[in-house]
Amino acid sequence: MVLAVVGLSLSSAAAVADEQLYKTKNCVICHKTDQNFLGPSFTSVAAKYADDKGADVKLARKIREGSIGVWGPTPMPAQPQVTEAEALTLARWILEIK
């Protein structure tokens, strides 16, 4: 029982930390959790990639390198200030949003 509580505390702490990463890396400028803004909502991204086993790596690469045409004509600029580890953390956090 104690281990279950500790596990839940750690996972919710990680979610809060990842949300802070989202804010400090400027993702919030173009993306919202549950509504489209300049970029797609994270709930839309999570739904689109729900069945893609390698989505975390693909999204991490898109975060760092940018992309265009996936969600329409508006480009996602590269975010080179985000490290590979941070990009993977962000991608995994996004994919867990429901």
pLDDT tens, position by position, 31-83: 999 999 999 999 999 999 999 999 999 999 999 999 999 999 999 999 999 99
- Distance between the two ends of the chain, CA-based, in angstroms? 27
Are the CB atoms for 59 and 52 separated by under 8 Å? Answer: no
Spatial neighbors of 25 by CB under 8 A, at least 6 apart, are: 79, 81, 82, 86, 90
pLDDT at 66: 96
pLDDT at 24 over 80: yes
Instruction: Pick the closest to residue 25 from 77, 82, 91, 97 (CA basis).
Output: 82
Residue with tokens 């739904």: 47
State pTM to two decimals.
Answer: 0.79
**How far apart, in whole angstroms, are the C-alpha atoms of residue 51 and residue 72?**
21
**How far apart, in whole angstroms, are the C-alpha atoms of residue 83 and residue 72?**
26
**How far apart, in whole angstroms, are the C-alpha atoms of residue 75 and residue 17?**
27
Are the CB atoms for 74 and 39 separated by under 8 Å? Answer: yes
